Amino acid sequence: MKRGLLLAGIALFLSLALLSGLTIQFHRQLKTLSVYAGQTNPGHTASANIGKLKHGLQRYERISFQYFNTIFYLSLFLLLGSFLFGILEFRRRFLYRIELEKNNQALKLHASELEQIAFATAHHLQEPIRKIRVFNNLLIQRHSQDLNDQAQQMLRRTEEAALRMQSLVEDIVHYANLSLHDEQPEEVNLNRLLKKVWQDFAGELRKKKATLDLPELPVIYGYPHQLEALFRSLVDNALKFSRPEVPLHIRLSCAVVNGENIGDDLAVEGQQYYKIAVGDNGIGFDNLYRKKIFRLFQRLHATPSHYPGRGLGLSVVHKVMTNHQGLVTASGSPTGALFELYFPLPSRKEITGTASRGTSSA
């Protein structure tokens, strides 16, 4: 579209330049005609003066015919070119609209399939896992005296595996709810929300002697439960990967930035964003994994005993920001991690498109 408008502008400029040149030439010929008329001499014969006037009139008629003929064909050319360009642009938009409708239909189909998978996960998969745990516990309680130490250890491992499986299924349902459950967007006071999240983690934060730098944050127009899940995940992530024997320090900051200054291909040029940075003084991570950490069930540490968790929290952060048509970036260092959240301005905005509406609980 931009290329077509640029070409049309260039063609119009060249046409105007040509018309200006022809007009100047036409005026020169009129001036020449007046010179001929002024050169009539009373001393000459009448036939000589009439001959000069006829010659000037013939030249005027020839030049004027050429001038208006050029204007006519040039206007016809521009008219046909504009008409052809309009037809091509209409065809392109028509095909684009058809493709967009096909993609919307495919997206609705995929959403319906995802809803069915989430329902099956929530009901049909959790029930067998619960039965495995129940029968395994009954076996341990009623027949432990008949089993040797190795058999009892195998049953305990079975219980741990079933418990981990159940937790993973619950996480899948929790993540799917961010896309499937309906929630109306509203104004969300981020300062009030952060204070609520901080109170929910009060016990663990006291153990870590945690402090929070909380500046004045904006009011975001979005999904309150999703935003709460987002900041709960970030606080929980800071707690999990904090340094032993080092008081946890979480700092927040807020600024307004332009999309072209974010350095992300998904950022919209000319769009302004609220940039909310959340940093901590934990163990950090290698920047080679700055995008990998947002994948579902992705863990950078292979020792759950040292760093508990199942790799869902930052996936929730990424999903919530996507639902709000925003962006999230991460950077790590030996002195901690930094997550930058970008919410599009204006704050009062209807979130449309394929952004999902959902609720979540921490």
DSSP 101: H
For residue 131, give both structure tokens.
Answer: 């039965």
Phi, psi (degrees; rounded to nearest 5) at 124:
-80, -30
Residue 118 CA neighbour count, 13 Å, CB half: 17
Per the model's pLDDT, the better-predicted residue between 324 and 181 turns out to be 324
So what's the pLDDT on residue 197?
93
For residue 356, give both structure tokens.
Answer: 């999902």
pLDDT band for position 339 (cuts 50, 70, 90): very high
So what's the pLDDT on residue 89?
83
So what's the pLDDT on residue 211?
92
pLDDT at position 128 over 90: no
So what's the pLDDT on residue 360?
36
Residue length, the chain? 362
Q: What is the DSSP string of 29-74?
A: HHHHHHHHHHT--TTS-HHHHHHHHHHHHHHHHHHHHHHHHHHHHH
For residue 185, give both structure tokens.
Answer: 């967007």
> Which amino acid appears at position 306 of this protein?
H
For residue 249, give both structure tokens.
Answer: 């320090």
Give the mean pLDDT of the chain. Answer: 77
For residue 26, give both structure tokens.
Answer: 């036409």
Given its phi and psi angles, is residue 245 left (phi above 0), alpha (psi -120 to 50 degrees) or beta? Answer: left
Residues 199-218 have a mean pLDDT of 91
**In a 10 Å sphere around its CB, with 0-12 CB exposed, 13-18 middle and 19+ buried, how is residue 311 labelled?**
middle
Q: Is 189 helix (H, G, I), strand (E, B) or coil?
A: strand
- Residue that is written with structure tokens 């050169």 in the block: 39
Residues 6+ apart with CB under 8 A from 111: 179, 180, 356
Q: What is the pTM of this model?
A: 0.61
Per the model's pLDDT, the better-predicted residue between 212 and 358 turns out to be 212
For residue 149, give both structure tokens.
Answer: 């130490």
> Which amino acid appears at position 316 of this protein?
V
Closest CA to 212 of 310, 307, 279: 279
Interval 211-267: pLDDT, tens: 999 999 999 888 999 999 999 999 998 998 888 889 999 999 999 998 888 877 777
Helix (H) or strand (E) holding 254: strand 249-258
Q: How far is CA 61 from the centre of its chain?
A: 64
C-alpha 301/C-alpha 70 separation (Å) is 77
Q: What is the DSSP string of 190-205?
A: HHHHHHHHHHHTHHHH
Helix (H) or strand (E) holding 258: strand 249-258
